[in-house]
Amino acid sequence: MKASILLIEDEAAIADNVVYALETDGFKVQWVELGEQGLDILKNEAIDLVVLDIGLPDINGFEVCKIIRRFSQVPIIFLTARNNEVDRIVGLEIGGDDYLSKPFSPRELSARVKVILKRVHPQSSNIPPVDLVNKNNVFVVKMNEAVICYKGNDLNLTRYEYLILNTLLRRPGQVFSREQLIQTVWNNPETSYDRAVDTHIKTLRAKLKEVSDDNPIKTHRGFGYSIKAKKDNAP
Ligand code: CA
């Protein structure tokens, strides 16, 4: 089945090229010019990936991304006209998966789309997503819904918070360095920073604290982070 891509971009010349490149590579593409139109489609149709321009005439792309993340974990690639650090970092930390600076090659965009879809849909390699129930039943990872449940509460996590916590939970007690987490979780590790990991851990901890004061994520100074193994929780 063809993967369905939603392109939200107000410049027709760019949109034409992107639609052409993606369709040539076998994707089904819908193009809209406004953020509102894109949100309508996302709420009503199954979309596999969103290509999102930051400079839109109605709502800016960062806002659109924030709204999308309230109801969907669909992968998002940003298109940005300003090639500066703030756009990159802010763009990825609010829940985007990748970005391209204009002018960009539509073929490069299509290549990035393929990489991300491969990561998001591991079932295409015949490995079914595996649910994980933490030994002491504190955490439950529901892969299909991309939801992590903590002490009976579904956490409202951003994409990166979810991926980091999921990684830590797979190997309780193992210390992951910031570098390892970046390599495992980020789609474009070369543009990510150690500090980004700390930022996500901080917000993740705040969300866990809303449920309980246990603080299951341990900091290893100079090394990285781990999820506490069962013995760590023993009195
Ligand atoms: Ca624009």
Least confident of 94-103, 107-116, 160-169, 223-232: 223-232
Which CATH number is correct for 139-233, 3.20.20.70, 3.40.50.300, 3.30.300.30, 1.10.10.10? 1.10.10.10
What's the pLDDT at 170? 78
The rounded Å distance from CA 17 to ligand 1 centre is: 14
Residue at 54: amino acid letter:
I
Which CATH class name applies to 4-120? alpha beta
The rounded Å distance from CA 157 to ligand 1 centre is: 29
The rounded Å distance from CA 188 to ligand 1 centre is: 23
Residue at 22: amino acid letter:
L
When computed from its CA atoms, the radius of gyration of the chain, rounded to whole angstroms, is: 19
Average pLDDT, the chain: 83
**CA-closest candidate to residue 52, choices 109, 118, 107, 115:** 109
The rounded Å distance from CA 32 to ligand 1 centre is: 12
pLDDT at 110 > cutoff 90: yes
What's the pLDDT at 90? 61
pTM for this entry: 0.55
Helices in the chain by DSSP H: which ranges? 12-24, 35-44, 61-71, 85-93, 106-120, 159-170, 178-185, 194-211, 230-233
Tell me the per-residue pLDDT of 28-67, one tens digit each, with 9 for 90 and over: 999 999 999 999 999 888 888 999 999 999 999 988 998 9
Compute the C-alpha angle 144/148/149, nearest 5°.
120
What's the pLDDT at 188? 63
Domain extent listing, the chain: 4-120, 139-233
The rounded Å distance from CA 184 to ligand 1 centre is: 32
What's the pLDDT at 10? 97
